[in-house]
Structure 1
Amino acid sequence: MERMLERILTSLAVILVVCLILPGCAHFTKSGRQQLAYEKYVRKCSYTRDRQRSKMKMPQMAVPASAPSENKVSADVVDAAPSPQSVTTSDSQTEQ
């Protein structure tokens, strides 16, 4: 019985050592998580910077020069809709 318990403990110790050696176990410590987050941040920033640089290197279309137009001032009043007409009946016209 003791020999079986000893085998289990040694195998668990070996598994624990192997797990701590693997790089995937860096997620278990606070500093490991911080380092992974920083690496992700650096990858994202460098990717964004490279994209912006490639956009800046692309030839840009020349904007044609145009003269500014003159300001036009209009003081005319324009009716958007016709004004309402008074409605009269033939009886009311005869009374007036």
Structure 2
Amino acid sequence: MVHSLTRGTAAQAQAAVAQQVLRVIRQRKAIRPGRLRRHSSLSQELGFDTVDIVDIILELERRFSITIPDEVPLVHVDDFVRFVAAHAPAMRQAA
């Protein structure tokens, strides 16, 4: 029973992180929620340039108290979600 509670808490924390990451990305270019998909390419499909992506990274680092190294490949929306979910302090506590 405790194991399923912990798993539920971790899943809820991951969903909350994903929602916040998506919100940060949407706000950068005022993207409608229905247009932003986790498999979307930021540059090719959504038209983000390097400055946009750097601004997203800086905001995510600030918001989640993490550091995203330059060499981390962040191409799709889900790349951001997975990295933040794996490295955010709140996620490490929920696991």
User: Which of the pair has the greater relative contact order for Cα pairs under 8 Å at 6+ separation?
Assistant: 2
Q: TM exceeds 0.5? A: no
Q: How high is the TM-score relative to the length of structure 1?
A: 0.29
Q: How high is the TM-score relative to the length of structure 2?
A: 0.29
